[in-house]
Amino acid sequence: MKIGLPKEIKNNENRVGLIPAGVYELVKNGHSVYVQSSAGVGSGFVDADYASVGAQIVPDIETVYDLAEMIVKVKEPIASEYPLIKQDQVIFTYFHFASSTELTRAMIDSKAVCIAYETVEDEDGTLPLLTPMSEVAGRMAIQQGAKYLEKPIKGRGVLLGGVPGVPPGKVLVLGAGVVGLQAAKMAAGLGAHVTILDINMKRLRHVNDIMPSHVVTEYSSEYNIKRHIKNHDLIIGGVLVKGGKAPKLITRDMLKEMRPGTVMVDVAVDQGGCFETTRATTHENPTYIIDDIVHYCVANMPGAVPYTSTLALTNVTLPYVLKLANLGYEEACAKNNDLAKGLNIVKGEIVYDEIKEFFEDKV
Ligand SMILES: NC(=O)c1ccc[n+]([C@@H]2O[C@H](COP(=O)([O-])OP(=O)(O)OC[C@H]3O[C@@H](n4cnc5c(N)ncnc54)[C@H](O)[C@@H]3O)[C@@H](O)[C@H]2O)c1
């Protein structure tokens, strides 16, 4: 199969859909890979790295789309890419159709085969192509939170690990899913005192089993949240209600109960956020302050660490890319239920129920 790797053109997106190790596997399996010049630079891979494993470097994005039977990328296509997409071309990437009717319409009109990373689903209901980005964001939440706790950037001036004779900082983690677990792990590693809340007892049992004793689990209730925000330095929002908006666990009123300089990192911002005062920010301007509380609400946290994020993402996408290339999308999806769940739009027709409902409601 002819596979195309375009350079991401969405603002500040430095990840790339295939790394040289992936191209190596595809070429070994008899496929041709067309890489747009400088596609991997933002993630630390130069054209020569791709060429050395058998990729053909092409000068522009038009040539990539023109030559390829399958496009592998990271972010959803943006308007300038719509006309490049051809009928029957397989596009394997994050789409998030529910957030854009314009994109949905464009992909229906293109008559391409759109397989979305975010809906590929394992037998146990987990989303294997979303998990690594939550892992990155969860770990990063502590790194960012620790930084914004510094006084010159308006934080409380607390060192999370403390020092001998001074107690460590306190971290409150809302949600014990992928983000919450990774955040708790990083905070515990720094020596902070960690409280992690969830409404799912199975998750709390798991965390309790694997974490050291300075990570304390508690059931998530308004009462417990109100009690803890008063004396925690860093609060991480990592809750998710599948298919719904994040619940507002910390309201504007509650900010007055916190100590000035407390830092709140809302990782769940992409689902509306779990703090009432959350509004999405960018890496250029990641924080804002309300009632002396520092808010960090960057909607694409993994974008700041493209090297790690690209490796984490391509580790999990490559096995699917290989199946699609070796078998063709029809046979690959017929043989793999998890991949079949990724089919969102096929040759002009929405084939994923939730997206169909969403789209029919909007038009
Ligand atoms: N900002 C970013 O860059 C970025 C990156 C990756 C993921 N995310 C987002 O982070 C959020 C969390 O993702 P995840 O992969 O950890 O999800 P997950 O499903 O693994 O975990 C979510 C957890 O929240 C818990 N929860 C639900 N309601 C709760 C409540 N009232 N109180 C406490 N816990 C509650 C659930 O029981 C679950 O354990 C999602 O919205 C995801 O989209 C954001």
Which of 201, 240, 296, when mutated, tests ligand 1's pocket best, judged by the most ligand atoms within 8 Å of its CB? 240
Summarize the confidence of residues 59-88 as an average pLDDT: 97
Q: What backbone phi and psi angles, to 5 degrees, belong to 271?
A: -110, 30
End-to-end Cα distance, the chain? 36
- In angstroms, rounded to a whole number, what is the distance separating the alpha carbons of residues 349 and 104? 10
Per the structure block, which two tokens stand in for 124? Answer: 């146990």
> Over the stretch 15-24, which tens digit does the pLDDT of each residue have?
999 999 999 9
Q: 271 CA distance to ligand 1 centroid (A)?
A: 9
The amino acid occupying position 47 is: D
Q: What is the CA radius of gyration of the chain?
A: 22
Q: Do domains 2-120+306-362 and 131-304 have the same CATH topology?
A: yes
Q: Note the pLDDT tens digit of each residue in 107-155.
A: 999 999 999 999 999 999 899 999 999 999 999 999 999 999 999 999 9
Could you say which architecture CATH assigns to the domain 131-304?
A: 3-Layer(aba) Sandwich (3.40)
Which one-letter amino acid corresponds to residue 8? E
> Residue 239 C-alpha to ligand 1 middle, in angstroms?
3
pLDDT range class, residue 271, cuts 50, 70, 90? confident
Known binder of ligand: residue 268? yes
In angstroms, the CA 281 to CA 284 distance is: 8
Instruction: Report the 3 state secondary structure along 116-149.
Output: EHHHCCCCCCCCCCCHHHHHHHHHHHHHHHHHHC
pLDDT in tens, 196-250: 999 999 999 999 999 999 999 999 999 999 999 999 999 999 999 876 678 999 9
Residue identifier of the C-alpha nearest atom 26 of ligand 1: 239
Q: How far is CA 65 from CA 10, 34, 115, 177, 194, in A?
A: 16, 9, 16, 38, 48
Ligand 1, residues 140, 228, 267: which to mutate, most atoms within 8 A of Cβ? 267
Query: Residue 292: pLDDT above 90?
Result: yes
Cα separation, 348 vs 142, whole angstroms: 43
Instruction: Find out whether 341 is annotated in a ligand binding site.
Output: no
pLDDT at 106 over 90: yes
| Partners of 236 in beta bridges | 173, 265
Structure tokens, 33 = 């890979």
Taking all residues of the chain, what is their mean pLDDT, rounded to a whole number? 96
Q: Which residue numbers are catalytic?
A: 96, 270
Across-strand partners of 343?
115
How far is the C-alpha of 267 from the C-alpha of 239, rounded, in Å? 8
> Is the distance from CB of 249 to CB of 220 less than 8 angstroms?
yes
Asked if residue 269 belongs to a known ligand binding site, the reply is yes
> In the predicted model, is pLDDT for residue 361 greater than 80?
no
Nearest atom within ligand 1 for CA of residue 271: 41
Residue 346 has φ and ψ, to the nearest 5°, of -125, 115
Q: Is the CB of 172 under 6 A from ligand 1?
A: no
CATH class of the domain comprising 2-120+306-362: alpha beta
* Rounded Cα–Cα distance for residues 204 and 174 (Å): 11
Q: Is the CB of 225 under 6 A from ligand 1?
A: no
Rounded CA-CA distance 318/21 in Å is 9
Please work out whether the CB of residue 177 comes within 6 Å of at least one atom of ligand 1: yes
Which residue carries 């089993």 as its tokens? 209
* 177 close to 126: Cβ distance less than 8 angstroms: no
CB-based contact 213:243 (threshold 8 Å) = no
Retrieve residue 245's tokens.
């908006």
Among candidates 235, 251, 246, which has minimal Cα distance to 192?
A: 235
What does the alpha-carbon distance between residue 136 and residue 241 come to, in Å, rounded to a whole number? 20
279 is in an annotated binding site: yes
pTM for this entry? 0.91
* Residue ranges per structural domain of the chain: 2-120+306-362, 131-304
